[in-house]
């Protein structure tokens, strides 16, 4: 494994690629002398081929390398020695020698690379690691659909960096977790932070025996300098949206999801807490402290700490150590010829009264030492990785017993075994099991319906025991047979009692974490696409919350989402004609030609009612159309404190109709009011880590709100609190300032808001828009000046530092405040405008775009950035902000609501019929598509193949997300169960 890590380190910084299998390493050789005992093998469980391969005569053994964790520089000549070595197991010695030669070459290259890194020279990124091709400005909408990077709109020039050519087949990962989007320039820009050259470097203050940045790099597959920069940015309390947009050169152009993965691990803090606890209890030894610091995963940490937890029984090893047998155990390994177990016998003392009890105590101490040894753990994991480890699930005895009692007439709620019929007799390799299968099995186990276990082959035990006795834990010197028996028993006891449960927990944890991560990624992508649906502006909309018994709730909304009228109509009773006349009167009165129907109870009947009226041209002269939208979470929102505060006089049922209508007018502004878990996205939302899910979903909401931008003078307080750098308290302070002093004239006035410090202002300023059209109509220039003056005077009287800020805050509008350009780049933007011969008044006009394009084409973006003393990424962002039209919205080219005038029913479907539909929800096992028949059809993941997808979507795990239009073929229809099977034909653009 050390050889692998060293080889991988070289791969990150060079273009050297290796052929052959680097995962299979030859076993360690052992050292032995002529008088040492023969190699021990388990009696009945050693494979026959290994017994045959054992030499009949003793041969001089070669000294083994006992400590593979030595520095790379210490073994530059390792591959020169094994010329005459003869490995004990027949495993391709030529391959081993090639790997060792590669390791030595890698070590030499690493030394030169580190020197180059210290001198800040550019190094090339290894082509194997490429995971995303940086597109030009024309692909911004595709990037957004793919859940990748964000852009304010079409760029006026191509990306300034050269991009390596990459074959799609090299890293094609269909049906695998989404790859992180990284910049793939041959000369990575933005390496302002130097890598630490000695010690533990950046994570040194964590007091662990591993380097934090190196560990993050290994786990995330991101270059170390990028991990270092991201970690530093997080320590400086920068938000992800700010980092992704305004610090691109420091993070190598990674997207928000990738940046979120590269965060400081909490393992070190947990280790410190455990160490302090054990120190207070007086049980922390130097050996135990080192074992804690060596832990790299939570499972390893729990394994070491478990015997010392409060409430846990005193472990066998600790009891034996309290009897003083630890030195005897060390003597068995270090100097077995001097160990006499009879000398440790103390008649009348429990645990030491006989030689057998002493032997048992020594065995238990050795078993504990073996189970906590880092090299031993690494070896047994490598054995398992090369074996067929299986996950098996079956019906639990509890479920069978309750089912039998139910059949016999006993009362009680039976276990719903049928829901888990796929996993009642299920076996799968842990390396091949699907994420949704893992989550389903976990759910069945939590409900006590399934019993789950990990099956590790017996060959692992035999190989492990032989390796321990003959290599890793072989006594130094001659050991009598009774001592060797103690060692063999200790190894087997350690494997069965300590290591096997650890390995099972480790596999279950690894599978669960991986499945939860992919499930949360699915939630994140679905939510992002649901939030970024293109808003329907400039229309009067009628929101309809359908129902039978309690009627259909109506809400007529103005183009600016103001409530014009609310009512309840009963469309599905005997008075349908009278209610239809009322609808016609309302729609003509308010010039409403758009109806939005919620997809809940009575949706199909309500849709049929409106479709029939439209087909009869009942609403003439209006050309009416309708759409179906998800009403998930509308009921929860209608009784929330937010809804009560916003619509205090409305009945909760009518509030849900308002919410349904607003979801089409501005999906982002409306859906941020609802807990993301209730929006109806993804699957297994109750089976994943709730804290991780909430953090990820809240992060996505923050990204979407920030990158779309908010007009600070008209947005709601609820929407404002999701802007990067703001929270509930700061949003409330901004709203109060706005109510007291009038609209904001420029971004600088945000500094006057109580509680908004320099760091918060830095994080939020670039995502806030000041549109003069939204406040000049209500306030004259004089009034605006007075309000600004009042704003300066009021904070000066309250806060200590406000008078200083107010003295420097201007009161005049700044046109740059309407753009995505950050205030820290205003000076560069003005210099650029002077350079190209433009002015601020020309922002968004074609003439300025032509001047910019001509300058960029003539001089090049990098040359212009160097002239302006800025980075190409910052200059590109400035160009986008200056050339985008006023009121630009990144959602304008995204998926739009699908309006229609007629319907078909499920009875009209036949196998082979080709239809178009819209993806409603994506899961780990397929995508649900609305084809307009009242029931969503399922495209199973096996039908979502790469050849049916656009090129820009083939690198995603499932490739389809909510809102995307698809062409499908009906495979089967089950009216009784309400299920429709679909096959994907293509994605419509």
**Quick one: what percent of the chain has pLDDT higher than 90?**
25
186 pLDDT above the threshold of 60: no
Q: Residues 809-830: what's their mean pLDDT?
A: 88
pLDDT number for residue 596: 93
pLDDT number for residue 654: 92
413 pLDDT above the threshold of 80: no
Lowest-pLDDT range of 258-272, 507-521, 653-667:
258-272
Please report how the helices 326-334 and 355-371 are oriented relative to each other, as an axis angle in degrees rounded to 10: 70
How many whole angstroms separate alpha carbon 289 and alpha carbon 303? 14
610 pLDDT above the threshold of 70: yes
567 pLDDT above the threshold of 90: yes
pLDDT number for residue 32: 36
pLDDT tens per residue, range 66-107: 444 444 444 444 444 444 444 444 444 443 444 344 444 444
pLDDT number for residue 573: 79
How many whole angstroms separate alpha carbon 727 and alpha carbon 217? 31
Residues listed for the chain: 989
pLDDT tens per residue, range 208-240: 667 777 777 777 778 888 888 888 888 888 998
Superfamily of domain 313-389+456-519, CATH level 4? Tex N-terminal region-like (1.10.3500.10)
pLDDT tens per residue, range 420-478: 888 999 999 999 998 989 999 999 999 999 999 999 999 999 999 999 999 999 999 88
- Rg (alpha carbons) of the chain, rounded to whole number: 34
Q: Nearest-CA neighbor of 873 among 190, 130, 388? A: 190
Q: 243-271 burial, b for 16+ CB within 10 Å, e for fewer?
A: bbbbbbbbbbbbbbbbbbbbebbebbebb
How many whole angstroms separate alpha carbon 708 and alpha carbon 150? 10
Q: Residues 253-265: what's their mean pLDDT?
A: 75
Q: At CA 708, angle to CA 707 and CA 711, rounded to 5?
A: 115
Q: Where in the chain is the domain with CATH 3.30.420.140?
A: 538-709
Task: Pick from 75-89, 644-658, 946-960 the range whose average pLDDT is largest.
Answer: 644-658
- The full DSSP string for 752-809 is GSTT--HHHHHHHHTTEE--GGGTTTTS-HHHHHHHHHHHHHHHHHH-SSHHHHHHH-
Q: Residues 556-575: what's their mean pLDDT?
A: 90
How confident is residue 40, by pLDDT bands cut at 50, 70 and 90?
very low
Q: Residues 845-859: what's their mean pLDDT?
A: 88
Lowest-pLDDT range of 452-461, 545-554, 964-973:
964-973
HSE-CB at 435 with a 13 A cutoff on CA atoms is 25
Q: Nearest-CA neighbor of 818 among 747, 743, 876? A: 747
pLDDT number for residue 87: 42
Q: Is 381 exposed, middle or buried (0-12, 13-18, 19+ CB in 10 A)?
A: middle
Q: What are 527's two structure tokens?
A: 């939510």
171 pLDDT above the threshold of 50: no
Q: Which residue has the higher pLDDT, 63 or 348?
A: 348
pLDDT number for residue 699: 87
Q: Where in the chain is the domain with CATH 2.40.50.140?
A: 906-988
- The domain made up of 906-988 has a fold known as OB fold (Dihydrolipoamide Acetyltransferase, E2P) (2.40.50)
Tokens 């006009």 sit on residue: 845
How many whole angstroms separate alpha carbon 886 and alpha carbon 709? 13
The answer to whether 456 and 500 are in contact (CB under 8 A) is: yes
pLDDT number for residue 178: 41
The answer to whether 87 and 27 are in contact (CB under 8 A) is: yes
Lowest-pLDDT range of 164-178, 495-509, 937-951:
164-178
Q: Does domain 538-709 have CATH number 3.90.700.10?
A: no
Mean pLDDT of the chain: 75
Q: Is 117 helix (H, G, I), strand (E, B) or coil?
A: helix
**Quick one: what percent of the chain has pLDDT higher than 70?**
70
Instruction: Using DSSP bridges, classify how beta strands 965-974 and 936-940 pair: parallel, antiparallel or unpaired.
Output: unpaired
How confident is residue 204, by pLDDT bands cut at 50, 70 and 90?
very low
564 pLDDT above the threshold of 90: yes
pLDDT number for residue 70: 42
pLDDT number for residue 232: 85
pLDDT tens per residue, range 104-133: 444 444 344 344 334 433 333 333 332 333
Q: Residues 888-908: what's their mean pLDDT?
A: 66
How many whole angstroms separate alpha carbon 543 and alpha carbon 631? 11
Name the strands in the sheet holding 625-629, side by side, starting at the edge strand that comes first in the sequence.
563-569, 552-557, 541-545, 594-598, 625-629
């Amino acid at each position: 494994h050390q050889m692998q890590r060293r080889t991988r380190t070289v791969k990150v910084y060079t273009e050297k690629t290796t052929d052959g299998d680097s995962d299979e390493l030859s076993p360690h050789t052992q050292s032995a002398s002529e008088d040492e005992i023969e190699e021990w093998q388990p009696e009945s469980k050693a494979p026959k081929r290994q017994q045959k391969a054992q030499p009949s005569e003793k041969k001089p053994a070669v000294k083994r390398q006992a400590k593979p964790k030595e520095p790379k520089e210490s073994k530059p000549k390792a591959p020169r020695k094994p010329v005459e070595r003869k490995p004990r197991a027949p495993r391709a010695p030529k391959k081993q020698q090639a790997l060792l030669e590669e390791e030595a070459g890698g070590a030499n290259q690493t030394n030169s690379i580190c020197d180059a890194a210290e001198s800040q020279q550019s190094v090339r990124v290894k082509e194997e690691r490429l995971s995303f091709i940086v597109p030009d400005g024309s692909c911004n909408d595709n990037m957004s659909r793919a859940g990748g990077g964000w852009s304010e709109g079409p760029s006026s020039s191509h990306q300034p960096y050269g991009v390596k050519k990459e074959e799609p087949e090299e890293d094609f990962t269909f049906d695998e977790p989404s790859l992180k989007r990284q910049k793939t320039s041959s000369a990575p820009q933005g390496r302002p932070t130097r890598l630490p050259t000695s010690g533990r470097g950046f994570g040194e203050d964590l007091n662990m025996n591993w380097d934090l940045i190196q560990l993050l790099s290994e786990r995330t597959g991101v270059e170390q300098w990028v991990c270092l920069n991201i970690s530093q940015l997080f320590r400086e309390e920068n938000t992800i949206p700010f980092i992704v947009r305004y610090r691109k050169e420091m993070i190598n152009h990674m997207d928000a999801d990738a940046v979120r993965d590269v965060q400081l691990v909490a393992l070190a803090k947990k280790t410190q807490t455990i160490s302090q606890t054990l120190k207070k209890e007086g049980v922390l030894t130097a050996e135990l402290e080192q074992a804690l610091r060596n832990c790299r995963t939570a499972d390893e940490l729990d394994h070491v700490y478990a015997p010392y937890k409060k409430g846990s029984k005193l472990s066998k090893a600790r009891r034996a150590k309290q009897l003083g047998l630890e030195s005897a155990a060390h003597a068995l390994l270090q100097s077995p010829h001097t160990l006499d177990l009879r000398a440790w016998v103390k008649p009348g003392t429990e645990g030491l009264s006989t030689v057998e009890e002493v032997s048992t105590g020594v065995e238990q101490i050795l078993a504990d030492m073996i189970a906590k040894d880092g090299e031993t753990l690494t070896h047994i994991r490598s054995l398992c990785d090369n074996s067929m480890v299986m996950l098996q699930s079956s019906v639990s005895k509890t479920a069978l017993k309750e089912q039998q009692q139910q059949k016999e007439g006993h009362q009680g709620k039976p276990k719903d075994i049928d829901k888990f019929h796929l996993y009642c007799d299920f076996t799968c390799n842990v390396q091949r099991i699907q994420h949704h299968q893992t989550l389903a099995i976990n759910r069945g186990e939590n409900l006590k319906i399934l019993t789950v276990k990990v099956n590790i082959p017996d060959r692992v035990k035999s190989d492990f025991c032989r390796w321990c006795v003959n290599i890793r834990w072989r006594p130094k010197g001659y050991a009598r047979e009774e001592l060797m028996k103690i060692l063999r028993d200790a190894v087997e006891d350690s494997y069965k009692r300590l290591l096997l449960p650890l390995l099972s927990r480790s596999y279950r944890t690894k599978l669960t974490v991986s499945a939860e991560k992919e499930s949360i990624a699915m939630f994140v992508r679905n939510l992002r696409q649901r939030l970024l649906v293109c808003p329907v502006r400039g229309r009067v909309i009628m929101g309809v919350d359908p129902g039978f018994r309690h009627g259909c709730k109506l809400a007529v909304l103005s183009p600016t989402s103001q409530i014009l009228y609310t009512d309840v109509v009963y469309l599905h009773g005997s008075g349908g004609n009278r209610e239809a006349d009322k609808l016609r009167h309302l729609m003509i009165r308010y010039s409403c030609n758009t109806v939005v129907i919620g997809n809940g109870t009575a949706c199909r009947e309500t849709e049929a009612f409106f479709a029939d009226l439209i087909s009869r041209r009942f609403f003439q002269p209006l050309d009416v159309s309708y759409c179906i939208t998800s009403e998930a979470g509308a009921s929860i929102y209608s009784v929330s404190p937010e809804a009560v505060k916003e619509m205090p006089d409305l009945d909760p049922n009518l509030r849900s109709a308002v919410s349904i209508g607003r979801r089409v007018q501005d999906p982002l502004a409306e859906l941020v009011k609802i807990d993301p878990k209730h929006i109806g996205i993804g699957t297994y939302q109750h089976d994943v880590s709730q804290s991780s899910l909430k953090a990820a979903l809240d992060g996505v909401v923050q990204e979407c709100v920030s990158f779309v931008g908010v007009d600070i003078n008209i947005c709601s307080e609820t929407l404002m609190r999701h802007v990067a750098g703001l929270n509930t308290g700061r949003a409330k302070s901004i709203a109060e300032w706005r109510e007291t002093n009038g609209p904001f004239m420029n971004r600088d006035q945000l500094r006057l808001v109580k509680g908004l410090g320099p760091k918060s202002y830095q994080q939020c300023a670039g995502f806030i828009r000041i549109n003069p059209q939204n406040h000049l109509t209500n306030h004259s220039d004089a009034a605006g000046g007075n309000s600004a003056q009042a704003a300066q005077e009021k904070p000066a009287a309250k806060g200590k530092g406000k008078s200083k800020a107010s003295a420097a805050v201007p009161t005049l509008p700044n046109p740059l405040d309407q753009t995505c350009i950050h205030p820290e780049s205003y000076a560069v933007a003005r210099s650029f405008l002077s350079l190209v011969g433009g002015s601020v008044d020309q922002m968004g006009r074609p003439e300025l775009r032509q001047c910019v394009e001509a300058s960029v084409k003539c001089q090049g973006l990098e040359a212009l950035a160097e002239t302006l003393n800025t980075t190409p990424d910052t200059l590109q962002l400035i160009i986008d902000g200056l050339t985008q039209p006023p009121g630009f919205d990144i959602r304008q080219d995204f998926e739009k609501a699908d309006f229609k005038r007629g319907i078909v029913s499920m009875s009209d479907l036949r196998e082979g019929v080709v239809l178009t539909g819209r993806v409603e929800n994506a899961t780990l096992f397929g995508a649900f598509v609305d084809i307009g028949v009242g029931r969503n059809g399922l495209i199973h993941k096996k039908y979502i193949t790469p050849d049916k997808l656009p090129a820009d979507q083939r690198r995603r795990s499932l490739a389809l997300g909510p809102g995307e239009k698809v062409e499908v073929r009906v495979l089967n229809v089950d009216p009784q169960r309400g299920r429709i099977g679909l096959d994907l034909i293509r994605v419509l653009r």
